[in-house]
Amino acid sequence: MHRARLAWSPELLEYDFGPGHPMAPVRLDLTMRLIRALGLPELPALEFGDAEPASDDTLRTVHDADYLTAVKRASTALEPDPARGLGTEDDPLFLGMHDAAARQVGGSVSLAEAVWRGEISHGVNVAGGMHHARRGSAAGFCVYNDAAAAVRRLLDLGADRVAYIDLDAHHGDGVEAAFWEDPRVLTVSVHQDGRTLFPGTGYAADVGAGRAEGTAVNVSLPPRTDGAAWLRAIDAVVPAVVREHRPDAIVSQHGCDAHGNDPLAHLDVSVDAQRTAQQWVHALAHELAGGRWLALGGGGYAVVDVVPLVWASLVAEAAHAPLAAGMPLPADWRAVALEVSEMEPARTLGSAEPVPWRSWKDGWDPADPIDRAVQATRKSVFPLLGLDPHHD
């Protein structure tokens, strides 16, 4: 029987950089409230799993031992260590930072284990997706890289190949770096052009190194790319490279800061388009990976009209009970969201109209900057994988 598990602990809300920081716990709080208001916990295919802090051994699979020591010290002494990205504007220090960040990793890694053992087919950790953290430093609101740790655990348990798909507006640089030279892991990141957005990396020509050439894939899109064009770009690249990789499991990052209302990025990808992409990733997991799918959160700073909608949709999708496009959002949730945020929450879950995206198979326009960006990726990486960039 199909089972999906949502990793959750209220203590995940303790990952809190303090007032005024965009990565505020209210994002997760409003998401969990919407999940409950929609009745998702009653779905027979959905169970809740715990999220305990990952052990040092687990953290050391993707981080240096002296970085762990530095994070622990910074979490209690609150002394900045800017060389390791700790105590910076993006990653200010707070008491308990180590435990809070380790808990994100524990949630994702325990789901990866459950997926690999076949206890569940799909796992979701909306508190995960901390894709910028490096082996030895914090970056971009991320202290420990739960996504890399989950991929690593799948490999350690016996997966021959894993595909990581990153849909956040920002380049998934930390996960890419962790597997840059590892041919077993395909990392695919679809993001806003690094010339215009943090972390400033992730170009079409960046394809991995050595024996892993062709297993890093970057789709770098111009600012203001909308949902239809974003889906077209994903469809033109992601299924082809993931199919070629033949993964045993798929790990995906569903940061929702590509939305037009997001205060930090400059893409214009609707909730509807993001929900469509979730369905595509889900379908790929069943087509290619025996259904083994771990879906993570990530960025997303439009806390009342985007984040809860996209991630509640992700949970419902994983539970094989997708939410109806355009459905009205529960009035009791809207009232709480208004009270907590003092912002008017969305009234409906996107629109009932399908996103009018056009397939690459019908041709591309060399004069269109988005099409040029997509074709640059295809030209860089498709030949390395034995694919033809000029045909679907």
Q: Which residue matches tokens 């889906």?
A: 231
The interface region with Zn ion, picked from 32-40, 94-102, 168-176, 230-238 by CB under 5 A, is 168-176
Residue with tokens 């074709």: 375
Which of the residues 122, 131, 132, 171 is marked catalytic?
Answer: 132
Least spacing, CB of residue 217 vs Zn ion, in Å: 18
Nearest alpha-carbon partner for 122 in 290, 367, 258, 374: 290
Does position 174 interact with Zn ion (CB under 5 A)? The reply is no
Pairing of strands 216-221, 249-253: unpaired
d(CA 263, CA 314): 22
Work out how close the CB of 287 gets to Zn ion at its nearest, in angstroms, rounded to a whole number.
Answer: 11
Q: β-strand 4-7 against 293-296: which pairing, if any?
A: unpaired
Number of residues engaging Zn ion in binding (CB under 5 A): 6
Check if the beta carbon of residue 142 is closer than 8 Å to that of residue 166.
no
- Indicate which single residue of 168, 176, 235, 262 sits in contact with Zn ion (rule: CB under 5 A): 168
Lay out the site mask for Zn ion across 83-122 (x = CB under 5 A, - = otherwise).
Answer: ----------------------------------------
**Residue 289 and residue 163: Cα distance in Å, rounded?**
9
Among 63, 170, 254, 292, interactor with Zn ion by CB under 5 A? 170
Rounded least distance, CB 281 to Zn ion, Å = 10
- Provide, rounded to whole angstroms, the least separation between the CB of residue 313 and Zn ion: 14
Distance CA(165)–CA(192), nearest Å, equals 15
What is the spatial distance between Cα 49 and Cα 66, in angstroms, rounded to a whole number? Answer: 30
Closest contact distance (angstroms) between CB of 291 and Zn ion is: 5
Binding map of Zn ion across residues 217-256, x = CB under 5 A, - = no contact: --------------------------------------x-
Can residue 308 be called a binding residue for Zn ion (CB under 5 A)?
no
Which tokens belong to 278?
Answer: 């979730």
Sole window of 19-27, 163-171, 220-228, 229-237 interacting with Zn ion (rule: CB under 5 A):
163-171
Cβ neighbours of residue 154 closer than 8 Å, sequence gap 6 or more: 112, 115, 116, 162, 248, 249, 251
CA-based nearest residue to 9, from 52, 64, 59, 69 = 52
List binders of Zn ion among 276-305 (CB under 5 A): 299
Could you say whether residue 257 binds Zn ion (CB under 5 A)? yes
Nearer CB in complex with Zn ion: 152/282: 282
132 is catalytic: yes
How far, rounded to the nearest angstrom, does the alpha carbon of residue 316 sit from its chain's CA centroid?
Answer: 16
Of 41, 182, 47, 45, the residue nearest 110 (C-alpha): 47
Whole-number minimum distance, CB 199 to Zn ion, in Å? 9
Is 285:245 a contact under the CB 8 Å cutoff? Answer: no
* Nearest residue (CB) to Zn ion, 22 versus 389: 22
Active site residues: 132
**Which residues contact Zn ion by CB under 5 A?**
168-170, 255, 257, 299
